[in-house]
A and B are shown apart, each in its own frame.
Chain A
Amino acid sequence: AQKVTQAQTEISVVEKEDVTLDCVYETRDTTYYLFWYKQPPSGELVFLIRRNSFDEQNEISGRYSWNFQKSTSSFNFTITASQVVDSAVYFCARGNEKLTFGTGTRLTIIP
């Protein structure tokens, strides 16, 4: 199976600190897509980003930024100036039609 590994199971940071969530994936595909989702306590998945494997440009969206390194098969996610509302479980996923999810990182922002 082509795994998606999120080595950090739980992270706690104090509000306003920056935090980076790591994601490493395996793939045999030439073309693939990478995703990040947020799952707050309500359980509903919130889509954050989709990235094509051919597009290695880093992306910034407000306080969120993503670093895609194809050479190391990593797709890391950074939250700048964290807020309490960022507390959630974050999932990285890889796939084309079918998605393989990582095990998730539980992020707690301490006020």
Chain B
Amino acid sequence: GAVVSQHPSRVICKSGTSVKIECRSLDFQATTMFWYRQFPKQSLMLMATSNEGSKATYEQGVEKDKFLINHASLTLSTLTVTSAHPEDSSFYICSARPHRGPYNEQFFGPGTRLTVL
């Protein structure tokens, strides 16, 4: 149980286009989902916390207009990278916290590798 999926797993796009990444909790409801970014050979950095039905909370230094997050249901959160540029190329990982369960429990998705040409 407790499976989180991400789609797509890999995406290559041209500079200036927008890319949407989906994060789904497959067998549980997730009140809260988190979005992380990981540059090559670096750590995971929390970008934002997404709560179902409300606006996402962004970490300091993360542009909310650049990284649009929508958490429309208890099983789906989306991250849209708007007008992507090469510096946005990164590995994006989501995690989901079950609606029922320890408040610090998170299940991670497999990640989405974004390459902007």
The verdict on A28 contacting chain B, using a C-beta distance below 8 Å, is no
The minimal Cβ–Cβ distance linking B95 to chain A, given in whole angstroms, is 8
User: In the bound complex, how far is the Cα of B18 from the Cα of A104, in angstroms?
Assistant: 30
For window 69-115 of chain B, which residues contact chain A by CB distance below 8 Å?
91, 93, 97, 103-111, 113
Check B67 for interface membership: any CB of A closer than 8 A.
Answer: no
Size of chain B's interface in residues, with CB distance under 8 A? 22
Q: Does A91 lie within 8 Å of B104, measured CB to CB? A: no
Please tell me the number of chain A residues within 8 Å of chain B, measured between CB atoms: 20
Report whether B43 and A98 are in contact in the complex, using a CB–CB cutoff of 8 Å. Answer: no
Is the C-beta of A55 less than 8 angstroms from some C-beta in chain B?
Answer: no
Q: Which residues of B contact A96 (CB under 8 A)?
A: 103-104
Q: What is B's interface to A at a CB cutoff of 8 Å?
A: 32, 34, 41-46, 49, 91, 93, 97, 103-111, 113
A contact set with B: CB distance below 8 Å: 33, 37, 42-45, 47, 50, 91, 95-104, 106
| 9 residue pairs bridging A and B, Cβ less than 8 Å apart | A45-B111, A95-B104, A96-B104, A97-B49, A97-B103, A98-B46, A99-B46, A101-B45, A106-B41
Q: A43-B111, A101-B43 are in contact. List 13 more A-B contacts (CB 8 A).
A: A37-B108, A43-B91, A44-B109, A44-B110, A45-B93, A45-B111, A50-B105, A97-B32, A97-B97, A98-B46, A101-B45, A103-B43, A104-B43
